[in-house]
Structure 1
Amino acid sequence: MENEFRITRTSREIYDRFFDNYSLEQLNKIPPGFNNNLIWNIGHIIVSQQIMIYGGAGLTLMVSDELAGKYTRGTKPEFDLTQKEVDEIRSLLYSPVVRTEEDYYNRVFTTFTERKTQLGFTLSTVEDAIAFNNYHEGIHLGMMMSIRKFL
Structure 2
Amino acid sequence: METTFTITRTSREIYAKWLEKYSLEQLNKIPQGFSNNLIWNIGHIVVSQQLLVYAGSNQPMMVSEEMLAKYRRGSKPEGDVTQEEVNEIKNLLFTTIEKTEDDYKKGLFTSYNERTSELGFLLSSTEMAIDFNNYHEAIHLGIMMQIKKFI
Asked if these proteins are the same fold (TM beyond 0.5), I'd say yes
- For residues 142 and 104 of structure 1, the distance between their equivalents in structure 2, rounded to whole angstroms, comes to 28
1:150 aligns with 150
- Find the counterpart in structure 2 of residue 139 from structure 1: 139
Give 2:116's aligned residue.
116
Describe how 1:1-151 pairs up with structure 2 within 5 A: 1-151=1-151
Amino acid at match of 1:71: Y
Matches of 1:93 and 1:121, distance apart in 2 = 24
Separation in 1, partners of 2:78, 2:66: 13
Give the counterpart letter for 1:11 in structure 2.
S
Distance 1:113 1:19 in 2: 33
Between the aligned partners of 1:26 and 1:121, the Cα distance in structure 2 is: 33
1:49 is displaced (CA, Å) by 0.1
SS in 2 for 1:92: helix
Gaps (5+ residues) in structure 1? none
Deviation at 1:112, TM superposition (A): 0.5
Q: Which amino acid in structure 2 is aligned with residue 101 of structure 1?
A: E
Q: Which amino acid aligns with 1:147?
A: I
Instruction: Show structure 1 runs of 4+ deviating over 2 A.
Output: none
CA deviation map 1:34-68 (0-9, x unaligned): 00000000000000000000000001111111101
SS in 2 for 1:34: coil
Report the count of equivalent residues. Answer: 151
Partner secondary structure for residue 150 of structure 1: coil
Alpha-carbon distance in 1 for matches of 2:20, 2:75: 25
Separation of aligned partners in 2, 1:84 and 1:109 = 32
How far is 1:102 from its partner?
A: 0.5
User: What is the CA–CA distance in structure 1 between the aligned matches of 2:20 and 2:86, rounded to whole Å?
Assistant: 12
